[in-house]
């Protein structure tokens, strides 16, 4: 039986907007096995990104238990969560979030500045990550000098450089043309299949979801269905 890397039990998430209490997630239960590639779909406002942020330790639940990579996230304070994220999770966003004044190499090295690695080791690790995602030849180029697909590959290299257990991706192909999007999704599939990375991806694109091994569908803060795709 596969080891569970993500476990949510009775998770509730509310936000306060002025004097109004806004429910987002309603008594959510979810298990994700180590090595899965999960595609999370649903309409805007359904709670997909909130769920992703909870799994990645960017947010905390109003109530309920969240365990990721053996750690109860709902018991950690903000400083502990930051330390945990740095060691366990890689984030990939729709708009890359690269630092415009830094070249690709330096952008990928950024997460390693929080570690005790030497400058030489940080550089070597960043080069290895850029090579893995196929853009080592763009290492000295700044984000403005990269295509959208190249910039997203750099962002994935940055997410991978600290060797995280989990990759969480929020609409990672939403700003790309179909060809570039498929190349990024194929890369994620390789990272999942050949390198054992557990991946959770939020997407509105059914074609993107097809790259996952499992589909989850959200609506109004609830998981409505779960299906495993044929290999």
Residue 156 domain flag: no
Residue 114 domain flag: no
Q: How many domains does the chain have?
A: 1
Identify the weakest region by mean pLDDT among 10-24, 60-74, 159-173, 179-193: 10-24
Confidence class for position 225, pLDDT limits 50, 70, 90: low
Tell me, what's the pLDDT at 43?
86
Closest by CA position to 222, among listed 43, 53, 67: 43
Residue 63 domain flag: yes
Q: From residue 112, give the alpha-carbon distance in Å to each of 116, 124, 164, 188, 204.
A: 8, 11, 12, 21, 32
For residue range 126-170, list pLDDT tens digits in order. Answer: 999 999 999 999 999 999 999 999 999 999 999 999 889 899 999
Residue 134 domain flag: no
Counting Cβ atoms within 10 Å, is residue 55 exposed (0-12), middle (13-18) or buried (19+)?
buried
What dihedral angle (degrees, nearest 10) is formed by the CA atoms of 165, 88, 201, 92? -120
Residue 219 domain flag: yes
Confidence class for position 96, pLDDT limits 50, 70, 90: confident
For residue range 73-90, list pLDDT tens digits in order. Answer: 999 999 999 889 988 999
Confidence class for position 231, pLDDT limits 50, 70, 90: very low
Residue 113 domain flag: no
| CATH code for the domain of 89 | 3.40.50.300
Residue 17: give the domain boundaries: 4-97+166-228
Question: Measured between alpha carbons, how far is 104 from 127 in angstroms, rounded to an integer?
Answer: 10
Residue 129 domain flag: no
Query: pTM score, two decimals?
Result: 0.89
Residue 42 domain flag: yes
Mark residue 10 as left, alpha or beta (left: phi above 0; alpha: psi -120 to 50; beta: remaining): left
């Amino acid at each position: 039986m596969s080891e569970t890397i993500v476990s949510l039990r009775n998770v509730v998430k509310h936000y306060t907007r002025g004097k109004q209490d806004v429910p987002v997630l309603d008594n959510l239960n979810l298990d994700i096995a180590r090595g899965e590639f999960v595609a999370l779909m649903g309409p805007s406002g359904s709670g997909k990104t909130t769920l992703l942020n909870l799994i990645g330790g960017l947010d905390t639940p109003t109530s309920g238990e969240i365990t990721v990579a053996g750690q109860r996230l709902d018991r950690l304070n903000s400083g502990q969560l930051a330390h945990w994220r740095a060691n366990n999770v890689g984030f990939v966003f729709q708009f890359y979030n690269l630092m415009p004044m830094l070249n690709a190499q330096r952008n990928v090295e950024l997460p390693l500045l929080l570690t005790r690695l030497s400058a030489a080791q940080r550089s070597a690790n960043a080069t290895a990550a850029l090579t893995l995602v196929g853009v080592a030849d763009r290492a000295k180029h700044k984000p403005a000098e990269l295509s959208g697909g190249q910039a997203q590959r750099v962002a994935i290299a940055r997410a991978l450089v600290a060797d995280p257990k989990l990759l969480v991706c929020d609409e990672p192909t939403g700003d790309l043309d179909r060809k570039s999007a498929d190349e990024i999704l194929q890369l994620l599939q390789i990272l999942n299949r050949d390198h054992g990375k557990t991946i959770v991806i939020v997407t509105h694109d059914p074609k993107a979801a097809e790259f996952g091994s499992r589909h989850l569908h959200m609506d109004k803060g609830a998981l409505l269905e779960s299906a495993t795709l044929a290999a």
